[in-house]
Structure 1
Amino acid sequence: MSSIFTKIIKNEIPSYKIAEEDKHLAFLDAMPLVKGHTLVIPKQETDFIFDLENEEFKNLWSFAQTVAKKLQKTYPDKRIAVAVIGLEVPHAHIHLIPISKMEDMNFKNVRLKLSDEEYQEIQNAILHS
């Protein structure tokens, strides 16, 4: 069940990585709702997040917590919201979204179109927080 996320994991498609472990990866969303919108994924190809084995499920959320804390340092005036939708890409993933208000997390909102320089600036800010 290869997806675009599998290609990102294999470095076949470029991404703006925020954090990586042996079994997990976090990178900036290519179609973000707000600056800093990050996706956290298991490297194991699994469509539905609740199909992950119990230990892997816990480890994914622990990794997401670590990433969320980095985002919180980068965006101290925002809350880091969490969403698991599971419809966009057939690969389990967690959205971490810096928000100021509930509307920031509306997936019907127009997505930001950021330049490569803007993505790099956001990535650097998070990596150095």
Structure 2
Amino acid sequence: MASIFSRIIAGEIPCHKIAENDQYFAFLDVFPCAVGHVLVVPKQEIDYLFDLSDELYAGLMAFAKQIEPAIRKAVPCKRVGVAVIGLEVPHAHVHLIPMNSMSDMNFHNKLKLSPEELAETAAKIRSFLN
């Protein structure tokens, strides 16, 4: 059975897409740690990040690095934190989380944003992509 991320990539489940290319996909986390929390995934469904080929892993990080400046411009923050948890969805993924303090990366204290707030945040991030 396809992971929820594969179903999002396939368009079966709606999302607030940030960017995609032929190998990678980025979208807003609908249960974010902070406003602007983006998930970056390879389109190929592989459960564990360190099971990715070296090329796919490096490409995933390079894709995430292209998105980071847009997040930082759209959501004023000191840094964009990077986290790999990998237990909640069996599809390798990287979290990009705007942060002003360490508590902004608290995965036990998720925000509840409206669909309108998510759409506005996604549009703002996309507006800063090169």
Which TM-score bucket, shorter chain as reference?
over 0.9
Cα offset, 1:68, TM superposition:
1.0
- Kindly report which structure 2 residues correspond to 1:1-129, keeping only aligned pairs within 5 A, or say none: 2-109=2-109, 111-129=110-128
Cα offset, 1:75, TM superposition:
2.4
Asked if 1 retains the 8 angstrom alpha-carbon contact of 2:34 and 2:104, the reply is: yes
Asked if 1 retains the 8 angstrom alpha-carbon contact of 2:33 and 2:105, the reply is: yes
- Show structure 2 runs of 5+ residues with no match: none
Equivalent residue pairs, number: 128
CA RMSD, 1 decimal: 1.0
- Letter aligned with residue 126 of structure 1: I
Cα offset, 1:74, TM superposition:
1.4
> What's the % identity of the aligned pairs?
54
Cα offset, 1:77, TM superposition:
3.3
DSSP-derived class of the 2:50 partner: helix
- Show structure 1 runs of 5+ residues with no match: none
The CA distance in 2 between the partners of 1:77 and 1:50, in whole Å, is 29
Once the two structures are superposed, what CA deviation does each residue of 1:8-54 show, in whole Å capped at 9, x if it has no partner? 01000000000101000000001101100000000001000010111
Once the two structures are superposed, what CA deviation does each residue of 1:74-112 show, in whole Å capped at 9, x if it has no partner? 124331000001111000000000011001101122x11
- Letter aligned with residue 19 of structure 1: A
The CA distance in 2 between the partners of 1:14 and 1:26, in whole Å, is 13
DSSP-derived class of the 2:95 partner: strand
The CA distance in 1 between the partners of 2:93 and 2:77, in whole Å, is 25
